[in-house]
Amino acid sequence: MTQTLDPTQVVFQELYCANNLLDDPAALNAAWERDGYWYFQDVLDREVIARIRQTYVNYLVDMGVVDAGDSSARYNGADITGLPINLPETRLNDMKAHKLLHESPAINGFFARLFGCNPFWVPFTVHRTNPPEPDSAGTRFDFIHEDGVYNDGLDFLICWVPIDEIDEDVGGIAVVEGVHKGPCLHRKEGAKILPMEVADVPPDRWRRTNYRPGDVLLMGLRTPHSGLKNISRDGRFRLSMDTRVMPSKLKVPIVGTVSAVDSACVTIEDSAGVHVLRFDSDSFVRGFYGDRMPLPEIPARYAIGTEVIASTRGDLVINLRPQT
């Protein structure tokens, strides 16, 4: 099946469903090497996903854009200027809605089956409650990018989870298949990283599907992808969670709190103790907009008490970013 969703005439073909490869590590690895993603249907506990959905719906009711008691959670036509669009839903992060996923024994059991070890959840999650934008003029793409250019040294998988049904009108997410081993498609202006343009991406490599609760899409750091504009005309929101996971048998990052910092080094405290780490000119310290931060500006961004994620080599910071 193919779907033409974008005015630029990009054709979206179906994601490859890897359910038949579960319990075959060699075949799973071959598919990952070939495609740059794994897509699984109906493998996550739908009762857990339903609880997460209710948390999202409660949030939308509190924001005044869904009527209380409307189980379908349709947009009620209220002013949406206070609702983040294509930005993190910080209130849902504060409500720890992702903990329902991260702490579910059934969902952790699926990932243990997939990885051959327990999963390690990296504390970096983005919640989406994108409202309908029925004006379909212009591109459907929100932000074409790969995560690797911003997260060098953090070897996680992007874990995208639909929280409700997401058909071609609601959009969801689209990935670019099989280009993850080639050169980075991002352009740069000095330290600024620019989003990819539609013309930068091979038009025949775009993939998506109609997503349902229980599905999960895992992508590599070098796999380009983008959210798609929600053009639903019946008031449906795009409810999805974008979190990060990795096999615990790999070297996991330091996850802790800054207790001291200057432009040369940072001290992070976690459950294992105190880590005194240094920066050099190659350290990627994430700034406010994802770009590399100049070392002299680090103390203003990473003040004492900031919760952070750090990948390291010895005592050297490879990548430092805030938790979300």
Q: For position 311, which CATH number holds?
A: 2.40.50
Among 215, 247, 279, give the residue marking a domain's end: 247
Same domain assignment for residues 126 and 265 = no
Looking at residue 56, its pLDDT comes to 95
94 with 157, same domain?
A: yes
pLDDT digits (tens, 9 = 90+) for 82-115: 888 767 778 888 888 999 999 999 999 999 999 9
Does 149 lie in the same domain as 60? yes
Q: What's the pLDDT tens digit per position in 213-225?
A: 999 999 999 999 9
Number of domains composing the chain: 2
Distance CA(52)–CA(103), nearest Å, equals 12
In this structure, the answer to whether residues 204 and 175 fall within a common structural domain is yes
Please report, for residues 28, 156, 310, the alpha-carbon distance to residue 270 in angstroms, rounded to integers and kept in the order given. Answer: 34, 19, 11
Radius of gyration for the alpha carbons in the chain, expressed in angstroms and rounded:
20
What is the DSSP track for 104-148? -HHHHHHHHHHHSS-EEEEEEEEEEEEPP-----S-SBS-BB-SG
**CATH number for the domain that contains residue 123:** 2.60.120.620
Tens-place pLDDT, residues 9-19: 688 999 999 99
Cα–Cα distance, 38 to 20 (Å, whole number): 11
Residue 173: give the domain boundaries: 2-247
Residue-wise pLDDT for 67-84, tens only, equals 999 989 999 999 988 888
**pLDDT per position as a tens digit, 119-153:** 999 999 999 999 998 676 678 899 999 998 888 78
Backbone angles phi, psi at 221, to 5 degrees: -60, -25
Q: Could you tell me if 151 and 269 lie in one domain?
A: no
* Whether 59 and 122 share a structural domain: yes
Of the candidates 192, 220, 247, which is a domain's last residue? 247
Residues 45 and 144 in one domain: yes
